[in-house]
């Protein structure tokens, strides 16, 4: 009869995580077993007893995995099953569970073949080197159980007799010391070492009880085992152990049969000779210092690589899981899974002629599908952890977000471990920054077109914040992430850094700050506080750029000093000179009211306090308000006192960042 499905599931998990940790060795070979027919056992329902044993096995494996030992009972007499399982204290968790699972399987389903115990034996005790267990149809849990005495790994003895007697006294002193400690420890486990200088021996001792035993009962059980030492072993014997299912006492000489990292006691340790100790320190110190530095650097590099590989593998699995879930839940949303060969053909083998640009985590290519549809193909660079995070984020969001002012993600492609590709609708006019920051191309954007772009971006943000099924904060809104279609309509792109909020949560704290310098809200940059008002701040900066044709990262002169764009716009507004902020190529047009209204709203959006900034629905209402409407006066904006030293900047500074805050 097989173990129940729960135990098989546990076995599968343990085998995967512990195969490398638990080789088949002599430590897993059975040392001793006892089979008996309990007195007074009148049960005749073998199936009921076997069912109770299987349920008990599940309980024991789960308990031992968590605590190192477990006791339990399942069912009612006469078919009740009682059991106890104990793993050595340094042999815990998954490896303990795996060993016990195998032993329990043999005891319940194959005991006659494995141990010569037929089905009539309903009291089975098994001892392995690193774990032990007992199963019975009678309640033995209140007592110690069957006693087994084992000679140890080394049957040599100390001679002469006087030395043997001193050795035995040392062994008894050692196990008594660690028994007192073990009884008071939560895991009821302690180890120790003592030095028998007379023969140049080190004696290692181990005592343990099951964790459910109270301290006084554990100590009593161990004391009974220790009291049996003189009559159990030969005088001066190098090793031995006395085992019962509930407690264990063992010692060995020069045989570290357990992990010695955390010894409870270390007795009679010899002191080094003072004649050479300082010389040794002087010689060893320099060597250790250099070795430690080299080892530290090697470990740090290796750990970083291993963590990166592990995270990449984990994320790759997560990405596949997301796609599988999408297939089941969103299969009719128009999102497609493309073959890598299709992408190669569409982009002419990812040729340089088809390359549209290079992002932080991969290149973007223009492509054409067989049906004539033009596409933009974003190919993730190999081994890019941040890029893989963005990839996963985008495919998680795309099935949930559909709006005319959001760029449409048509699908994705995954090929092996390294190829991760996102496929977007192609935007013939590319990104907004390539036009508004170019003196020649900027002429093509008259004020009505710029106003249409501002309103379209605000509509897209309003959808993300309020009207979509998920509340989404973009976190990287900037001119290069606004794409323009053939009619200059704006579409917000790149949701790799976006964050999803539940409807009941207004903001959250994060230790990882993502975004682009110049667009990040002050409370997010300094304290990691992220909310929809973070996007409102970025929107305000973007509106100032659209109105002025100037980059937020640039420096602009006012009254003999240089200021960043936000501060420059505020100073002009306060002086009643806001029209000087407007791009020269649209300054002469007769749209002064809407221009002034855009500057006013933008300054409201970039205020220092997030509470002072309007929400996106208010922004839209203010942008569309009539001339008679009164808007609140903006307060001094964020980053007002942050200004560069030197001459005016003319080059772009579109720098994406990812900062980890120390908290």
> Cβ contacts of residue 591 below 8 Å, gap of 6+?
447, 448, 451
Q: CA–CA separation, 123 vs 138, rounded Å?
A: 8
Long-range contacts, stretch 254-260, CB < 8 angstroms, 24+ apart: 254/201, 254/202, 255/153, 255/154, 255/204, 256/204, 257/129, 257/153, 257/204, 257/206, 258/88, 258/89, 258/90, 258/191, 258/204, 258/206, 259/90, 260/191, 260/193, 260/204
- Whether 476 is a known active-site residue: answer yes
CB-CB contact of 473 with 532 (8 Å)? yes
Q: Which of 592, 643, 656, 596 is nearest to 623 (CA)?
A: 596
CA angle, residues 641, 642, 646, in degrees to nearest 5? 115
Say how far residue 229 (Cα) sits from the centre of its chain.
50
For the record, the structure tokens of 438 come out as 């170019």
Give the alpha-carbon dihedral of 309, 313, 319, 321, to 10 degrees. Answer: -160
For the record, the structure tokens of 47 come out as 């199936």
Give the alpha-carbon dihedral of 294, 300, 303, 308, to 10 degrees. Answer: -130
What is the enclosing helix (H) or strand (E) of 171? helix 161-184
What is the enclosing helix (H) or strand (E) of 514? strand 512-516
What is the enclosing helix (H) or strand (E) of 573? helix 565-574
Q: CA–CA separation, 541 vs 478, rounded Å?
A: 8
Q: Choosing from 433, 476, 535, 583, which is the catalytic residue? A: 476
CB-CB contact of 512 with 563 (8 Å)? no
Measured from the Cβ of residue 283, the count of other Cβ atoms closer than 10 Å reads 11
What secondary structure does DSSP assign to 347-386, as a single string?
Answer: TTTT-GGGEEEEETTEEEEEEE-TTS-EEEEEEEPTT-HH
CB-CB contact of 131 with 86 (8 Å)? yes
Q: Which positions are catalytic? A: 476
């Amino acid at each position: 009869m097989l173990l129940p499905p729960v135990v098989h599931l546990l076995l599968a998990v343990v085998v995967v995580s512990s195969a490398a940790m638990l080789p088949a060795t002599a430590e897993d070979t059975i040392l001793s077993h006892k089979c008996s027919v309990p007195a007074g056992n009148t049960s005749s329902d073998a199936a009921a007893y076997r069912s109770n044993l299987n349920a008990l096995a599940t309980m024991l494996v789960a308990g031992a995995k968590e605590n190192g030992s477990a006791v339990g009972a399942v069912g009612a007499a006469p078919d009740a099953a009682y059991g106890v399982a104990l793993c050595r204290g340094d042999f815990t968790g998954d490896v303990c569970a795996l060993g016990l699972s195998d032993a329990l399987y043999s005891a319940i389903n194959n005991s006659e073949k494995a141990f010569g115990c037929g089905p009539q034996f309903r009291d089975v005790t098994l001892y392995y080197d690193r774990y032990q267990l007992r199963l019975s149809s009678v309640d033995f849990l209140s007592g110690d159980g069957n006693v087994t005495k084992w000679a140890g790994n080394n049957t040599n003895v100390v001679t002469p007799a006087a030395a043997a007697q001193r050795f035995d006294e040392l062994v008894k002193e050692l196990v008594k010391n660690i028994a007192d400690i073990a009884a008071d420890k939560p895991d009821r486990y302690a180890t120790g070492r003592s030095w028998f200088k007379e023969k140049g021996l080190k004696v290692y001792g181990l005592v343990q009880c099951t964790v459910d035993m109270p301290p006084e009962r554990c100590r009593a059980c161990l004391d009974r085992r220790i009291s049996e030492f003189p009559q159990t072993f030969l005088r001066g014997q190098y090793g031995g152990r006395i085992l019962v299912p509930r407690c264990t006492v063992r010692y060995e000489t020069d045989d570290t049969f357990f992990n010695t990292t955390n010894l409870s006691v270390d007795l009679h340790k010899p002191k080094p000779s003072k004649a050479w100790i300082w010389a040794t320190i002087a010689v060893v110190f320099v060597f250790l210092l250099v070795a430690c530095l080299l080892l530290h650097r090697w470990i740090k590099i290796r750990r970083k690589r291993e963590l990166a590989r592990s995270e990449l593998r984990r994320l790759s699995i997560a990405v596949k899981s997301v796609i599988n879930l999408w297939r089941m839940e969103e299969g009719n949303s128009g999102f497609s899974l493309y073959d890598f060969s299709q992408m190669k053909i569409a982009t002419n083998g990812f040729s340089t002629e088809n390359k549209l640009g290079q992002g932080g985590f991969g290149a973007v290519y223009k492509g054409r599908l067989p049906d004539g549809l033009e596409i933009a193909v974003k190919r993730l660079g190999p081994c890019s952890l941040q890029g893989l995070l963005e990839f996963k984020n985008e495919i998680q969001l795309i099935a949930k977000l559909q709006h005319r002012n959001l760029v449409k993600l048509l699908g994705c492609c995954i090929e092996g471990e390294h190829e991760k590709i996102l496929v977007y609708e192609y935007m013939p006019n590319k990104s907004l920054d390539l036009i508004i920051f170019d003196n020649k191309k900027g002429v093509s954007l008259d004020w009505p077109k710029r106003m249409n772009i501002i309103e379209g971006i605000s509509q897209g943000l309003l959808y993300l914040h309020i009207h979509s099924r998920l509340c989404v904060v973009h976190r990287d809104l900037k001119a290069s992430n606004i794409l323009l279609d053939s009619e200059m309509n704006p579409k917000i792109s790149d949701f790799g850094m976006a964050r999803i909020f539940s409807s009941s949560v207004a903001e959250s704290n994060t230790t990882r700050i993502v975004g682009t310098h110049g667009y990040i809200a002050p409370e997010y940059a300094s304290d990691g506080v992220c909310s929809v008002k973070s996007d409102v701040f970025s929107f305000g900066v973007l509106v100032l750029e659209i109105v002025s044709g100037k980059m937020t990262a640039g420096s602009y002169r006012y009254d003999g000093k240089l200021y960043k764009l936000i501060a420059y716009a505020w100073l002009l507004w306060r002086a009643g000179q806001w029209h000087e902020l407007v791009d020269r190529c649209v300054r002469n047009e007769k749209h002064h009211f809407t221009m002034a209204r855009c500057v006013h709203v933008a300054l409201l959006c970039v205020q220092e306090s997030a509470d002072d900034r309007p929400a996106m629905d208010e922004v839209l209402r203010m942008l569309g308000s009539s001339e008679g409407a009164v808007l609140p006066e903006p307060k001094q904006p964020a980053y007002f006192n942050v200004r560069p030293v030197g001459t005016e900047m003319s080059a772009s500074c579109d720098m994406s960042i990812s900062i980890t805050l120390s908290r």
